[in-house]
Amino acid sequence: MSKVRVIFLGTPDFAVTPLEAMAQDDHFDIVHVISQPDKPRDRMKLTPSPVKQKALELGLPVTTTESVNTPDFIDFVKSLKADVAVVIAFGQIVSQQFLESFPFGAVNVHGSLLPKWRGAAPIQRSLEAGEEETGVALQVMVKQLDAGPVLGVRKLQVTEEDDATSIYEKLKQLSCELLHVELMDYVRGHLVGQKQDESLVTIAKKIKKEEGEIDWNQSAQSIRNKMRAFAGWPGVWSYYQGKSLKILNCKVEKIKAKPGVVNEVTKNSFVVGCGEDSLRIFEVQPESKSKQLVESFLRGYPIKTGDVLSK
């Protein structure tokens, strides 16, 4: 069989590893890469997306656009005569006309075990919910968001040490397997997508910054889950002496104490009561300062039993 002609659509780092893997796979011919327009960073200098940067490094033709759905752009896409489009964290909703521009339509790698966690933040929301299993799914794209037939999944057990950053890295690698195996089986006619069970759908809403503020009336486990889910951005924080204090590393302990109140201080940790159990905190980041172990933090901020973490 001749190589499968692919148009690849992606924007952030999550899509870079699969792009590189497909470019090195003899089964595929990436005829074009499409990404979001360059964005201002570092003193307003326009910076290309990670996917565009990787495409240029690989010598692949690349185009950026505000919309892939205009008539002129769809005509351009059709002129490339690709067999299938591969969409990974692209950042635009594509039209039905775009999907119909390819003999095999478009497929999407989504960072969850569909139909669970459709939407913008699947990795973070699954961790926030305390799930012990996650993964990636390859779906045939349809008009309804993340609702297409599933061609395959790769599952991953979540460890106690995992957070959004580590899961993100692991799922990038699993995405490559799906494209190497299931995508090829699909275009060869050996695989048909399985319809999603709508009764199992959960929605992964976009994360808002204000969600990171800790409500100490929640259980210690819920707060720790949120810390793992929001690692990187927006993080989780409370307030001490009127300034924000991010919590970066902690564990749940079966200690009953008043929510938000410090009930124990040791050389390298302090314990804060929650609605259920308590959190022993080992690493923090004070407002406008770098992250630091509690042992160092306590030298400048002498927290004591009875202190309250709140506004």
Percent of the chain with pLDDT over 90: 96
Range scoring the smallest mean pLDDT among 39-43, 66-70, 118-122, 292-296: 39-43
CATH number of 4-203: 3.40.50.170
The model's pTM: 0.93
Task: Note the pLDDT of residue 121.
Answer: 96
Residue with tokens 């497929």: 107
Average model confidence (pLDDT) across the chain: 96
Task: Note the pLDDT of residue 232.
Answer: 83
Q: What count of residues does the chain have?
A: 311
Task: Note the pLDDT of residue 1.
Answer: 61
Output phi, psi for 39, to 5 deg: -115, 150
* Distance, CA of 235 to CA of 237 (rounded, Å): 7
Task: Note the pLDDT of residue 40.
Answer: 86
On the question of pLDDT at 199 being above 70, the answer is yes
154 beta partners: 136
- As a whole number, mean pLDDT of residues 126-147 equals 97
Question: What are the boundaries of each domain within the chain?
Answer: 4-203, 209-300
On the question of pLDDT at 297 being above 90, the answer is yes
What's the token pair of residue 293?
């172990």
Q: Which residues contact 277 (CB under 8 A, 6 or more apart)?
A: 219, 220, 221, 252, 253, 254, 255, 256
- As a whole number, mean pLDDT of residues 163-179 equals 97
The CATH T-level fold of domain 209-300 is Methionyl-tRNA Fmet Formyltransferase; Chain A, domain 2 (3.10.25)
84 closest CA partner among 15, 4, 16: 4
* Distance, CA of 53 to CA of 146 (rounded, Å): 27
- As a whole number, mean pLDDT of residues 235-262 equals 97
